[in-house]
Structure 1
Amino acid sequence: MVDVPGSARLLLVAGIAHLNEESAVFEAMLTGWGRQQQSRLLGSKTVSDRARLVRRFTEFADSYPWAWGPGDVEDFTVSLASGPGARAPSTIRGYHLALRMFCDYVTDARYGWLKECRDRFGAVPSQVCHEWNTVAHLNEYEGRPARRPLTYSELQDLFDHLDAQVERTASSGRKGTLSALRDAQVFKTAYAFGLRRNELCRLDVADLRPNPHVPRWGTYGSVHVRYGKAVRGGVPRRRTVLAVPEFDWAIEGMRQWVEQARPLFKAPGQPALWVTERLSRVSLRHLDARFADVREQVGLDPALSLHCLRHSYVTHLIEFGYPERFVQEQVGHAYASTTAIYASVSNDFKDKTLKSALARVYAQRTDQEDPS
């Protein structure tokens, strides 16, 4: 008989007495589940995050998997959805999914945990997550309704404010001019290339590539994303995002940053595109906090986040007339339906589209009615 990765026989040595047998078996379960997931080539962060959740649930239930019941899941869910730190439905659903997968693992006869638990504790684990006590995925989009693309005027106000901050800091002679210039270009790049926050932070100078169709843009005609959003715990997905002519203004800003401003940080051994005064890579926390400050200073809706710049990119590409398949490839969506969720065309675009349709339809009718 060949044992599969993560089976109890590979992790528990027969005849060994443990000081705390329950804890030892539980730790072996987590180790075996981790090996099972690794054999599916899931990312190490995904594996560790899921193990952390199972430990958290075990502490909450104050019992081990062979003593869990559906009521424990329901009580856990209520605690997650209550209080000032209540989790979003999508987050809770992810927790439910991880618990369900762990229970599937320990109740699968091929791994031998049912026999081990019955022999050692006189009880066996069961599947405690079912359709009546877990969050169902009913909607394609579960984000906050207030999160939306920025309008053209809001984007103009945002970028004008950032540019003004650079000019004020430079004219005052105070420190921070390079940081202000960097942050302004970071946000412009997020919008002009439709990047996710992590994709933006993880960019290196080497990720800036030419666009063979527009040689005059030099090495700033495209961005190679190496840390795209992974699928189901897999490795980060890669893609190349081409610059589009409607956003060519961002290319000149990128050139200025890379060739003139960034070298002043004197960080020859730092590959990151966005560097700090301490010669480290700019963090997600800094970008979120900086965007929140600028958003408040400009007077934008507090519900808007840095990720809304990506929503704006999708929306505006569609309004510019780019094919949906092109937009989908640019932003790295696996499904066109995801891109459609992001798109929210403006009223001006709808008005233009309607006027064009009216002119086309009624012009045809007039031609058909006119005997001449």
Structure 2
Amino acid sequence: MTTDKFEITDEQRDYSSLGLNENPFPYSPVPSDNPEVYCGQDHVANAVSNTVSSVLSTGKSKHLVITGKYGNGKSHTLKYARSLVRDREDVLVGYVAQPGEGFLDVYHEFMYDLGFDRVQELAYEFLAHVAREHTETNPMGALSMKSLLDEGETLLSELVPKAIQQLSDVTKFADFARAIVHMVYEDTNLYAWQWLTAEGIRYEQRKEMEIHSALDDDTMGVRAFTALKNMLLELGYTGVFVFVDEFESVARLSPKNEQATLNSLRHLMDQNSAGLSMMFGCAPEVWQDIMSEYHAFSERIGREVSLRPMTEDHLKDLVDSYLDLASGEGVSVSDIFEEDSLQLILQSSQGNVRQALSICSYTIDDAARRGRANIDAEIIQEAIS
């Protein structure tokens, strides 16, 4: 009886024969949270840019759905757009990996993507906003507000009643206002966070914060989301961007739950004609069904744009962009991949971005192991066979 021997080593592979410092292609071609490369199709990039720019320039809400087959770049496009927008200080940006069982899950994932620290920072920002209006102090942000409170120059007992009242007036949701303000209290901020993220807390914990309602259904989720957005507009933000990936998973819900989810999203859009942008990534066949069966929702989406399978030019641009990450001397796609090898990658992947990147990653390693200076069709054929 023989046993196979596994050769495991942490020694780094040498890619110098290819003129590279490393293998720039992902081993698991799932888009990172902050993609370094975006070689999406121009018409899609333009649609995303126009949607974002419209919201930033006018303040009016605008929405977009990006359709495309599995692996054609929907997630990559959404994450790249998110990474560009969230660098701005005048917007709040959240990513939802998939819509879950209903709108409350969308709201929950959005809040979790923001995170405890960011929401607490918003609470301090609102206290600073109130302090500037009602006290002689002039805190210009969360840090200076926290500093004034820590040093005792301003007392929470003076600010909190005014903050709750003012935020209640702005949001029309007193329980949301109390939860936001309680984010600055050490004793109750975790309870406040659990309530704000729709995790659910006991009656006794709500009572301690004087919160009377439970945030436990889609209607309350829409109300809380709208309250958050209205608070942001009061603080001078331009708006909120929500990126919802794998939207096709709503089709796996029961017809009743699917309709409830889409209705909640429709209500959210109807109640927020300013300061909200939602972008969805969705499989084309599911989006077609939604458009035919749920007009009231699909009509709220300003535009649909489709990611198509790659052409040879798209593939060259994509490979070139990745090679730039690992080459200090400007190695181009034609230096490493022979023309017929690229055609074979395109043919084998059927223009699918994810599959093409997988083939590139495997063959770069294989060529480096052999000490090859380039990749021909033979290496590609061995990789895909």
Name the TM tier (shorter chain): under 0.3
> So what's the TM-score if we normalise by structure 2?
0.21
The structure with the largest alpha-carbon Rg is: 1
